[in-house]
Amino acid sequence: MDFSSLNKPIQLRRHRARPSKYGWVVVFLLIWIPLTALVTANNFLLIVFIMMMGLVGVSHGLARSNISAVTLSRQFPDEIFADTPFSVTYRARTSRKLWGSMALTFKEGPPLKGAAAGTLLSRVPPDETVVSRGLFALPTRGDHRVMEGKLQSSFPFGLAEYSRVCGDSQMVLVFPKIESMDEQIPMYLGGSGRGVEKTDPFGTIPYLLRDYVPGDPYKHIDWKKTAQTGSLITRVFSEEGAREVTIRLPGNASERAISRAASLVVHFATKDTPVWLQGPGINLGPGRGKEFARKLLTILARWQNGSHEITEQDQAPGAVVEIDRLGALSWEERGQELTGGIKRTG
C-alpha cells in the first residue's frame, strides 16, 4: 500500500474555543463587575472591567495566531500489526517569526488508540521543523480509515482551549497480529520446539534427509542411507533454511488462526525459507524474502472467512503445517503422504 499520501501537509480548519475553569471565572467576573459598577457607580470597577476585556482580547488573538500559524504532517509506518503499538511521526512548522508557536498538543481521532493526553509539541521555533512521535495501536487487521486529528493549545494564559481539526481521513492497512513461533516450530525447521528431527551423530544439529542435488557438498552425503536406498542421500542442516514450508488455513479460521499463519510467514521470511500459503481463495507460492512475506501478509490482512472448496496437493512439496479453526498447529514431515482431494470447509 502506498503511504506517501500520509506525508502531505494537514490543512487546518475553523477554530473552536472552550473556556477552562479559569476562563469561566473570567466570564463570571466580566458579567459581575459591570453590573456591580452600575449599581454602585464605582468608576474603578469600570476600569478593571476594561482592563479585563483587553486581557481577554489579547489572549484570544494570541491563541488564534498560535495554532493558525502551524502546519503539521504525519507519517504512519510501512508495517502496522493488529493490537501492537506503533509509532506515528509528526513534523510541525510555524510561520510565526518572533517566538514561534507554543504549548501545542495533537490528538488523533478514532480508531487509533493511544495516550488520551495526545502528543505534546512544547515549542515550534520559527523556520525549524520539530519532529515528535506518538505511540498508538489498532485492534484488528484489515483496512482502517483513520479520522481527522485535532491540534489544541491553551496558550498564552490558559483561559480557553483552542483547537482546529487537522487533515483528511486516511486509509491504513493493518496486518494480523504477530506472535513468537519459535517454540511451536519443529527443531528440524529451525524452531526451538520439539518435532520430528534427526540428530547429527557428531553434535546436536538437527538435519533432514533428501535426495542428492548436484552441487551438494560430498561431506553432507549420508552414506549409510545411500547404501540402504541405492541412491545418493544428502543431509540438509537446519541452518541452511532450504526446506519449503506450506501453511494451510481452514475456511472458518478464527482471528487467532489467521494471526498464527501470519506469524509463521514472518518467522520463515526472517530465515529466508521458501513459503507456500494455501486456504480458501488463497494458493500462493512458493516464495521467500521480505517482499513476498509482505504480499502474503497483505492477503491475510484482507482475507474474509467463508465457505470455499480448495484442492490440496496429494504430495506436500516440503514440510506442511495445518492450522485448525482455533489456531492449533499440526506438522507433517517432508515426503509424508497427506490427505488429498477436495476439502470442503465452512
Quick: pLDDT tens for 58-100.
999 999 999 999 999 889 999 999 999 999 999 999 998 888 9
Tell me, yes or no, if the pTM score tops 0.85. Answer: no
What mean pLDDT comes out for the span 329-342? 54
Residue carrying the nine cell digits 500462493: 284
User: What is the model's pLDDT at position 294?
Assistant: 94
Three-state secondary structure readout of 318-338: CEEEEECCCCCEEEECCCCEC
Quick: pLDDT tens for 216-236.
677 778 888 888 888 888 776
Helix (H, G, I), strand (E, B) or coil at 70: strand
Residue 201 has pLDDT above 50, yes or no: no
The single-letter DSSP state of residue 287 is E
Q: What percent of the chain is predicted at pLDDT more than 70?
A: 77
Residue 343 or residue 104, greater confidence: 104
What whole-number distance in Å separates Cα of residue 316 and Cα of residue 32?
Answer: 85
The answer to whether 118 and 134 are in contact (CB under 8 A) is: yes
Residue 10 has pLDDT above 60, yes or no: no
What whole-number distance in Å separates Cα of residue 109 and Cα of residue 79?
Answer: 20
User: What is the model's pLDDT at position 199?
Assistant: 40
Of 247, 260, 298, 255, nearest in space to 180 by CA: 260
Spatial strand order of the sheet with 113-114 comes to 70-75, 86-94, 130-137, 113-114
Residue 162 has pLDDT above 90, yes or no: yes
The answer to whether 102 and 66 are in contact (CB under 8 A) is: yes
What structural domains and CATH numbers belong to the chain?
4-174 (2.60.40.10), 182-344 (no CATH)
Of 177, 341, 326, nearest in space to 252 by CA: 326
